[in-house]
Amino acid sequence: MNDPTQKPKRNEATISIQIIAALVEAIGDHREITDAGMRRFDLLEIDSPTARVPLHIFVELFEWLAKRMDRSCLGLELSERGGPQTVGAVGYLFLESKNLEAALTNLGRYLFAVQEGSRFHLGIEGEYAYVDYGILDDKISDRRQDSEYSIGSTWNLIKQFTGNTCQLTMVEFEHEKPPNTATVFRRVFGAPVLFRRRANRLHFRTELLESPSRSGDPFLFPILEAHILSSIDQNKRDQSFIEQVKSQLTHDALAEGMRAREVAAQLGISEATLHRRLKKEQMSFKNIHDEASRSLASLLISRPSLPIAAIARRLGFSETAALTRAFYRWFGKSPREHRKSLG
């Protein structure tokens, strides 16, 4: 069988064709439109279970389908129909985990098997916990459908895991509040939904993490995990070392001031080895970190309501003066001047 027409470029984030297959199946009642979308984006081998396509193509297809079908909340609506198949084997591993905390941790750990260039993080802050999802590439800016589909699908998985005995305290999205959609958001989440926030997040009480699996099979879990690890190993072989380093520098990692030592630890190597391997590819950690910071700065400064001091903190700077110096180096003007130039 031939590979899909849309072959990823080297170092380009990809997504499993299985995710697109699950999306098309969920839309099922509009086959003519989904077929037109598949042709438009040259996604020909939808039946190939191991194929991967560029992540940005999936996001663009999703936005195109929502507009073509005139369904502003397409991603959110489809998330209600989804099950573990929305993330392939990783979804089934989620349901076979021993408790919800392990399930969410496993989803974050193994998401790379089906979707690269994205973050999924479980955070715990006292009595409350949250899960955080987002695409790392800020150049993929028009991504509302993916964000709502992913957050909605995660919520659906949590409900399936707990037998629908759970409740959210708050939901956040990075994008602008869409008009005339309050009813559907209230129906899906049953909690306050806020927009133009730092990240796409589901918030709930920490005690929910102790919820045990309703279907956990101790024999099935290691089989699924071995399959996923094999897939990840292949992906890593296909991904350059530079991209592996970049994938560690998430927005939260930059805010926490993550440096080479921590990145090396995440990759399971020494700091010296990290620097040596980057040098071999004619790259330095300093340059990668600086580019990641510049990309995040460009995204944050475009949000008029976000104070300059808050941007400095989000980029790991202890003071706004350091941010100003960085902006002059990156853009040739101060943060305020750069924001003004964006209109």
For the residues 170-183, what does the mean pLDDT come to?
A: 92
Q: Say what the pLDDT of residue 44 is.
A: 64
Q: Give the sign of the dihedral formed by CA 77, CA 80, CA 84, CA 90.
A: positive
pLDDT (average), residues 229-242: 71
Q: Are residues 202 and 276 in the same domain?
A: no
Query: pLDDT tens across 276-291, in order?
Result: 999 988 899 999 999 8
Counts of helices then strands in the chain (DSSP H, E): 17, 7
**Mean pLDDT, rounded, for 258-269:** 89
Residue with tokens 């042709």: 39
Mean of per-residue pLDDT scores for the chain = 88
Structure tokens at 21: 């297959």
Q: How far apart are alpha carbons 66 and 14 in whole angstroms?
A: 21
Q: What is the CATH number of the domain that holds 267?
A: 1.10.10.60
Query: Cα separation of 308 and 314, whole Å?
Result: 10
pLDDT score at 237? 57
Residue 265 lies in a domain: yes
Model pTM score: 0.73
Residues 76-106 have pLDDT tens digits of 999 998 789 888 889 999 999 999 999 999 9
The pLDDT > 90 percentage for the chain reads 52
Of the residues 162, 195, 210, the one at which a domain ends: 210
pLDDT in tens, 303-320: 888 899 999 998 989 899
Residue 227, domain member (yes or no): no
Please indicate, yes or no, if residue 9 is contained in any of the structural domains. Answer: no
Q: Looking at the domain assignment, is residue 23 inside a domain?
A: no
- Tell me, yes or no, whether 91 and 173 share the same domain: yes
CA distances from 190 to 39, 43, 152, 175, 210 (A): 37, 36, 12, 19, 21
Tell me how many domains the chain contains.
2
Most confident region among 37-41, 151-155, 223-227 by mean pLDDT? 151-155
Asked whether residue 58 is domain-assigned, the answer is no
In-domain check, residue 217: no
Give a yes or no: residue 49 inside a domain: no
Cα-based distances in Å from 91 to 113, 155, 161, 213: 11, 12, 11, 13
Which residue segment(s) compose the domain that 316 sits in? 240-341
Do 248 and 184 share a structural domain? Answer: no
| 133 and 262 within one domain | no
Average pLDDT over every residue of 208-219: 85
Instruction: Supply the pLDDT for residue 61.
Output: 96
